[in-house]
Chains A and B, each alone.
Chain A
Amino acid sequence: MINLDLTADVVVVGGGPAGTWAALTAAEAGADVLLLDKGYCGTSGPTASGGTGVWYVQPDPEEREKAMASREKLGGFLQDRRWMARVLDQTYENMNRLEAEARYPFPIVDGVPHKRGVQGPEYMRRMRSWIKRAGVRVLDHSPVTELLVDGTGTVAGVRGHRRQHGTGYRVRAGAVVLATGGCAFLSKALGCDVATGDGALFAAEAGAEMSGMEFSTAYAIAPAFTSVTKTAYYGFATFFRGDGTWLEGAGSQGGRSVIAKELLRTGTVLCQIDRATPEQQRQMRLGQPNFFLTFDRLGINPFTEKFPVTLLLEGTVRGTGGIRIIADDCATTVPGLYAAGDAATRELVCGAFTGGGSHNSAWAMSSGTFAGRGAAAFATALGATANRRRLTGVGEAGIQRPFDRTDALDVIRREVHPYDKNYLRTASRLEPALAHLDAVWDGRRGGAVATGGDLPGVRQAAAMVAHARWMYTSALARTESRGMARREEFPRLDPNQYHRLTVGGLDRLWTRPETVTGRELAVAS
């Protein structure tokens, strides 16, 4: 049932940083823009509820070179230098606009605005009001459930559900930008439960490919039984076993697997943030007030008391895998379809290592800008024919065929959340896990075709299962350890596997190595 029939030049799916920058840019290019958020644009997603560093680097050749070179080894040299340079340029411009036009209140340090980070709630509140001033229409609580294509397979709209109105909707569009975020598999990591990989499923159903899905082993530290995942500050922490003895080698960086192993072995790891000076402690509270929400409310002083911690899955939110993009305007392999932010692969700027924090936020605002501009141009070129096309939905699982949501959520908990399967990866555990995921995907055991208010939940579950299958398929295909894609039985980097990995398919998955681009600018430095 379609109760609301709309048209737009550009539809942006997702209202986090990438989506809002895409919407803003498309509107400024003259497009009529509709932004659809499954939650609420301004609070949805990990940026809004958190805070993030930003890869903001002055346009000084020496500083830029240092910034690009700094994480290249960590990233297995899979980054693209040309893309890094244009993301640094775009991020610099966007952050300056955020101050001048959105009036973001940056702190003043030594007399100048300090633009190397943003506080999430303030940033996203201002992005929402900014895009509305620019003329973007926003529909909140309106999850998209599938893409619509024309007779040539070009993406030409979306269908979805308005969950606070109980009605369906359809939008005819000249182009669609997917800015739906990564996938954290409903782990309750801060702000991540809306990030269920929906866009990747939609894109794959329209024929798009994924890249870098093996880089999806991100787990964040949080106090046990809570949600606040601010791993950076745990760089000031010491970790202990349940009996209070020092847990050697454990750390927020490089030593997180030690924490995972101890949690698997005994279920308890304790932590104390005991390596911050009083001045640093004061700065931490100012820098990230939400880091202290948990402690203040539990009555714990994290600097003087030991508290239990856990690791929450952040999947491709902090990993770098996502929809493969093939052009400077963030076009995918499907005409009319663009991808930005965590929904897209971040290998171009992060390579094989987590883009968590500054790189991901720079990527979100830059790729959003590129995609918004590209989508607006695509829609303009279509002209009046855009609204005369016959539209067909391409959604499969849960729409054209039954899909069992309960089974899907169960298999995600059993085969994707556990550290010994998704984090400490080895074929003998990955292969059976993938087989379980495949079985749920095939859906031989039943489930149903969903309609109305049940549909978004079923589609999210399908998106998570699809996501996990691409992750494990890519992980099995990379028989080496590169960046965050580590394999226990192949602990070393293999020079013969110096490539990116494309993965695709829905029922039958495939992988294909891809030559690393953009290295010609990486002079020996």
Chain B
Amino acid sequence: MIEVVSTERCVSCDVCIAVCPTNVFEAGPGGIPVIARQSDCQTCFMCEAHCPADALFVAPHTHPVPADSPLRDEEHLAGTGLLGSYRRELGWGRGRKPGARLAVGPELRPAAT
């Protein structure tokens, strides 16, 4: 679920409010969106992919992580390179090559009959 909105990184574009398919965010004070309905989050990572400032982090769990989890610790996430990692792999952002250009997976095993 969405766990982090970085006040420091956020550029107040409100893109996350627009793109979240389950309407999790609300406009917040000082232009920083707030996680208003975390339980509606479907852990699809779309907000993170669309955030131009790598200010959002979605933990892979479909339930909230504990308050002291490293997945809520912005410093840890930035230090390990996890913050912004999905956007980097998608190749989204200025000067990046789209990941789709490289997306050739392995030949899958044929369906069993």
Residues in A lying within 8 Å of B, measured CB to CB: 38-40, 42-45, 48-49, 51, 71, 73-74, 104-109, 114, 117-119, 121-123, 140-141, 163-164, 188, 190-194, 223, 225-228, 232, 235-236, 251, 253-254, 276, 279-280, 283-284, 286-290, 292-294, 296-298
Query: Could you say which of B60, B86, B108 contacts A235, with CB atoms under 8 Å apart?
Result: B108
Which residues of chain A have C-beta atoms less than 8 A from B90's C-beta? 119, 121-122, 289
In the complex, the chain B residue whose C-beta lies closest to that of A227 is B43
Question: Is A297 within 8 A of B59, CB to CB?
Answer: yes
Give B23 Cβ to nearest chain A Cβ, in Å.
6
- Complex A-B: 23 CB contacts under 8 Å: A74-B111, A114-B104, A117-B103, A118-B100, A123-B100, A141-B23, A188-B42, A191-B21, A191-B42, A193-B40, A225-B62, A227-B42, A236-B106, A251-B112, A253-B109, A283-B104, A284-B106, A286-B102, A287-B104, A287-B105, A289-B90, A290-B45, A297-B71
B44 interface residue per 8 A CB criterion:
yes
Asked whether A294 and B60 contact (CB < 8 A) given A194-B21, A276-B106, the answer is: yes
In the complex, the chain B residue whose C-beta lies closest to that of A190 is B44
B46 interface residue per 8 A CB criterion:
yes
Contact with A along B10-30 (1 / 0, CB 8 A): 000000011111110000000
Residue of A40, A117, A276 with most partner-chain B CB within 10 A: A40
Question: Is B104 within 8 A of A107, CB to CB?
Answer: yes
Which residues of chain A have C-beta atoms less than 8 A from B106's C-beta? 236, 276, 279-280, 283-284, 287
Asked whether A119 and B82 contact (CB < 8 A) given A190-B44, A298-B60, the answer is: no
Query: Could you say which of A38, A73, A140, A194 contacts B18, with CB atoms under 8 Å apart?
Result: A140
Give A75 Cβ to nearest chain B Cβ, in Å.
11
Once the chains are docked, how many angstroms separate the CA of A520 from the CA of B7? 64
B9 interface residue per 8 A CB criterion:
no
Give B99 Cβ to nearest chain A Cβ, in Å.
6
Question: Is A121 within 8 A of B46, CB to CB?
Answer: yes
Which residues of chain A have C-beta atoms less than 8 A from B113's C-beta? 73-74
Give B75 Cβ to nearest chain A Cβ, in Å.
16
Which residues of chain A have C-beta atoms less than 8 A from B61's C-beta? 225-226
Q: A105-B98, A225-B63 are in contact. List 10 more A-B contacts (CB 8 A).
A: A38-B21, A43-B20, A49-B46, A74-B111, A104-B100, A122-B98, A193-B40, A228-B60, A289-B90, A289-B99
Once the chains are docked, how many angstroms separate the CA of A510 from the CA of B50? 45
Asked whether A232 and B42 contact (CB < 8 A) given A39-B22, A43-B20, A104-B100, the answer is: no
B73 interface residue per 8 A CB criterion:
no
**Contact-residue size bin, chain B (C-beta under 8 Å from the other chain):** 35 or more
Which residues of chain B have C-beta atoms less than 8 A from A284's C-beta? 105-106
Give B80 Cβ to nearest chain A Cβ, in Å.
9
Number of A-B contacts (CB under 8 A): 145
Q: Top 6 nearest A-B pairs by Cβ distance?
A: A287-B105, A39-B21, A254-B112, A49-B44, A289-B89, A227-B43
Give B41 Cβ to nearest chain A Cβ, in Å.
9
Question: Is A107 within 8 A of B100, CB to CB?
Answer: yes
Question: Is A106 within 8 A of B44, CB to CB?
Answer: no
Give B53 Cβ to nearest chain A Cβ, in Å.
17
B6 interface residue per 8 A CB criterion:
no
Asked whether A253 and B105 contact (CB < 8 A) given A49-B45, A119-B90, A225-B62, the answer is: no
B38 interface residue per 8 A CB criterion:
no
In the complex, the chain B residue whose C-beta lies closest to that of A15 is B21
Question: Is B23 within 8 A of A105, CB to CB?
Answer: no
Which residues of chain A have C-beta atoms less than 8 A from B98's C-beta? 105, 122
Give A187 Cβ to nearest chain B Cβ, in Å.
9
Asked whether A223 and B60 contact (CB < 8 A) given A117-B105, A254-B112, A287-B103, the answer is: yes
Once the chains are docked, how many angstroms separate the CA of A193 from the CA of B113? 30
Which residues of chain B have C-beta atoms less than 8 A from A49's C-beta? 44-46
Contact with A along B69-113 (1 / 0, CB 8 A): 001000000000010011001101000001111111110110111
